[in-house]
């Protein structure tokens, strides 16, 4: 009788030990192996940075609003203690117009050799060619352009006010991403030597002429259209082709943080965006976090239309993306 009781008790202990071990194991799988204090991302501040850009007016190359916004980024990033490199260049567009363009690079922890590159484009497309009523008019570009830059300005503000991550961080605002041919337009003007697309002029220029000779980064993350209400981000095709482990890393962090509704583990086709030229010309593996809407496709129905204004911007989405990016860079050893 006694012996039997002892056996049952020890069995119970074994069972409870086992389930305890399983629980700990499950917790370990959810959490990365190291425990890191990640400073908070302020979504309201990111929203403010988006609105501020829209207030300048569409940031169309060769306009006053473009000039003013560019100056504002440089001043703000300098104030946040970043080392700034400005890359000015001219590029003819598909209409033969010479665009005065400016890539802005802000480096934190400039002496660290292991670096993470974060990027967004800061220019606005000069016409809303998907808009049925006003296809020739400019549009605010709240999501297309300003949202990615807004998130990265807030990342810069967080870096300025907290202990820096263990890796170096370079933030690049690419110019001239969005002056590609009009919707449905045939390519009339042949591409000049060295240019692969009329889109992504800033990243193509940077990919061939990096701001520092021999510059490289461990990997890069591009943000494009990361501010819409209830936005979803699917695994973009070129990101999966060139940097699948970085996609996994970023999506894993997002899921651990509770953002599985936004970072969906489904793979879609590739999109021509700045990350493509960072991958192919600069040879730095870079992923793209870019709006994808089930039933509509990439970018959503407000894309390149008058509807791309502050009404569609959500601080919650900006917070989801910004918090994920901050976790990725602070967990990096
Ligand atoms: Zn665009």
Mean pLDDT of the region 241-263? 98
Strand order in the sheet with 115-121: 83-92, 98-108, 168-174, 115-121, 219-224, 286-290
Asked if the model's pLDDT at residue 27 lies above 60, the reply is: no
Tokens describing residue 146: 């300003």
| CA atoms within 13 A of residue 235's CA, in its CB half-sphere | 19
Gap between the Cα atoms of 156 and 321, Å rounded = 14
DSSP assignment string, 274-307: HHHHHHHTS---EEEEEBEETTTEET-TTTTSTT
301-314 tens-digit pLDDT: 999 999 999 999 99
52-105 tens-digit pLDDT: 999 999 999 999 999 999 999 999 999 999 999 999 999 999 999 999 999 999
| CA atoms within 13 A of residue 147's CA, in its CB half-sphere | 33
Cα–ligand 1 centroid distance for 270 (angstroms): 15
Cα–ligand 1 centroid distance for 128 (angstroms): 9
For the entire predicted model, the pTM comes to 0.90
Contact criterion met (CB below 8 Å) for 270 and 237: yes
Cα–ligand 1 centroid distance for 165 (angstroms): 31
For helices 315-331 and 43-56, what crossing angle results, to 10°?
120
Mean pLDDT of the region 289-296? 96
Cα–ligand 1 centroid distance for 125 (angstroms): 6
b/e string for 197-213 if b means 16 or more Cβ within 10 A? bbbbbbbbbbbeebbee
Cα–ligand 1 centroid distance for 159 (angstroms): 28
Q: What is the pLDDT of residue 184?
A: 81
Q: What is the pLDDT of residue 8?
A: 42
- Other C-beta atoms closer than 10 Å to the C-beta of 8 total 10
Q: What is the pLDDT of residue 157?
A: 98
- How many residues does the structure list for the chain? 333
Cα–ligand 1 centroid distance for 108 (angstroms): 28
114-149 tens-digit pLDDT: 999 999 999 999 999 999 999 999 999 999 999 999
Cα–ligand 1 centroid distance for 78 (angstroms): 27
> For residue 138, what are the contacts with CB-CB under 8 A and spacing of at least 6?
57, 58, 60, 124, 125, 126, 127, 128
* 289 pLDDT tier (thresholds 50, 70, 90): very high
- Average pLDDT taken over every residue of the chain: 92
Residue that has been written with the tokens 């870096």 in this structure: 159
For helices 315-331 and 244-256, what crossing angle results, to 10°?
120
DSSP assignment string, 66-122: HHHHHHHHHHHHHHTT-EEEEEEEEEE-TTSPEEEEEEEEEEESTT-SSEEEEEEE-
Cα–ligand 1 centroid distance for 295 (angstroms): 19
Q: Which of 332, 333, 330, 331 is nearest to 163 (CA)?
A: 330
Residues facing 101 on adjacent strands? 89
Gap between the Cα atoms of 36 and 140, Å rounded = 38
Residue that has been written with the tokens 């399983």 in this structure: 22
Gap between the Cα atoms of 322 and 317, Å rounded = 8
């Amino acid at each position: 009788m006694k012996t039997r009781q002892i056996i049952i008790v020890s069995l119970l202990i074994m069972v409870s030990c086992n389930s305890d071990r399983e629980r700990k194991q499950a917790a370990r799988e959810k959490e990365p192996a190291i425990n890191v204090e990640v400073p908070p991302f302020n979504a309201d501040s990111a929203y403010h940075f988006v609105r501020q850009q829209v207030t300048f007016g569409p940031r169309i190359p060769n306009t006053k609003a473009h000039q003013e916004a560019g100056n504002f980024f440089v001043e703000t990033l300098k104030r946040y203690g970043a080392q700034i490199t400005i890359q000015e260049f001219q590029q003819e567009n598909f209409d033969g117009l010479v665009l005065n363009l400016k890539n802005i690079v802000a480096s934190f922890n400039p002496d660290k050799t292991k670096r993470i590159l974060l990027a967004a484009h800061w220019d606005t497309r000069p016409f809303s060619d998907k808009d049925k009523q006003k296809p020739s008019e400019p549009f605010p570009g709240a999501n297309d352009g300003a949202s990615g830059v807004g998130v990265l300005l807030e990342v810069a503000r967080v870096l300025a006010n907290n202990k820096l991550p263990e890796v170096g961080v370079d933030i690049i605002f690419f110019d001239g991403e969005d002056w590609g041919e009009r919707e449905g337009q045939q390519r009339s003007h042949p591409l000049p030597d060295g240019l692969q697309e009329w889109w992504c002029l800033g990243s193509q220029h940077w990919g061939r002429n990096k701001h520092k000779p021999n510059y490289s980064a461990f990997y890069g993350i591009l943000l494009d259209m990361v501010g819409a209400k209830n936005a979803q981000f699917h695994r973009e095709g070129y990101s999966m082709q060139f940097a699948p482990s970085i996609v996994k890393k970023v999506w894993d962090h997002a899921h651990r943080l509770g953002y599985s509704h936004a970072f969906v583990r489904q793979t879609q086709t590739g999109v021509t965006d700045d990350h493509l030229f960072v991958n192919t010309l600069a040879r730095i593996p870079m992923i793209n976090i870019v709006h994808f809407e089930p039933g509509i496709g990439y970018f959503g129905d407000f894309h390149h239309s008058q509807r791309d204004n502050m009404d569609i911007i959500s601080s919650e989405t900006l917070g989801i993306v910004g918090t994920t990016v901050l976790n990725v860079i602070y967990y990096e050893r």
